[in-house]
Chains A and B, each alone.
Chain A
Amino acid sequence: MFDDAMLVERCLQGDTGAFDTLAARYRDRVFSLAFRMLGEASAAEDAMQEAFLRAYTRLPLYNPAQPFSTWLLCLTARVCLNARRDRATEQRHLERAAKAAPPPPTLEERLYEREQRRTLQRLLLRLPAPQRAAILLYYYEELPVAEVARALNAPEGTVKTWLYRGRESLRRWLEEELG
Chain B
Amino acid sequence: MKNECEHWEPLLHEWLEDWLAESEHAAVEAHLKACPACCAKVAGWQAVGRALRELPRVAAPARRSPHTAPEPRGALRLALALCLPTALLVVAFRTSFSPPLTPVSPDAVAQTIARPFTAPVQTLWNRLQEVISSWTAS
Which A residues fall within an 8 A CB radius of B? 16, 19-20, 23-24, 27-32, 35-36, 41, 44-45, 48-49, 52-53, 56, 116-117, 120-121, 135-136, 139-140, 142, 145, 160-161, 163-164, 167-168, 170-171, 174-175
In the complex, are the beta carbons of B66 and A120 less than 8 A apart?
no
- Chain A nearest CB from B96 CB (Å) reads 46
Given A53-B67, A139-B49, A170-B48; A31-B55 close (CB under 8 Å): no
Are A116 and B51 touching (Cβ within 8 A)?
Answer: yes
Are A35 and B63 closer than 8 Å at their CB atoms? no
Q: Are A140 and B52 in contact, CB atoms less than 8 angstroms apart?
A: yes
A171 near B45 with CB under 8 A, answer yes
The distance in angstroms between the C-alpha atoms of A136 and B14, with both chains bound, is 18
- The reply to whether A28 and B60 contact each other, CB–CB distance below 8 Å, is yes
On whether the beta carbons of B66 and A175 are closer than 8 Å, the reply is: no
21 A-B residue pairs with Cβ-Cβ distance under 8 Å, sorted by A, are A27-B60, A29-B57, A30-B60, A31-B59, A31-B60, A32-B58, A52-B66, A52-B67, A53-B66, A116-B51, A117-B54, A120-B48, A135-B52, A136-B52, A139-B49, A163-B13, A163-B17, A164-B10, A167-B48, A170-B52, A171-B45
3 closest A-B pairs by beta carbon, nearest first, are A31-B60, A52-B66, A139-B52
CB distance from A28 to the nearest CB of B (A): 5
B103 CB to closest chain A CB (Å) equals 61
Where the two chains meet, the residues of B that have a C-beta atom closer than 8 Å to any C-beta of A are 9-10, 13-14, 17, 19, 41, 44-45, 47-49, 51-61, 63-68
Residues of B within 8 A of A160 (CB): 14, 17, 19
Instruction: Please name all residues of chain A whose beta carbon is closer than 8 Å to the beta carbon of B63 when the two chains form the complex.
Output: 24, 27
Query: Within 8 Å CB of A52, what residues of B?
Result: 66-67
Extra A-B contacts (10), CB below 8 Å, given A32-B57, A167-B49, A170-B52:
A16-B67, A23-B66, A28-B59, A31-B58, A45-B60, A52-B66, A117-B51, A117-B55, A140-B53, A142-B53
Residue in B closest to A44 when the chains form the complex, CB atoms: B58
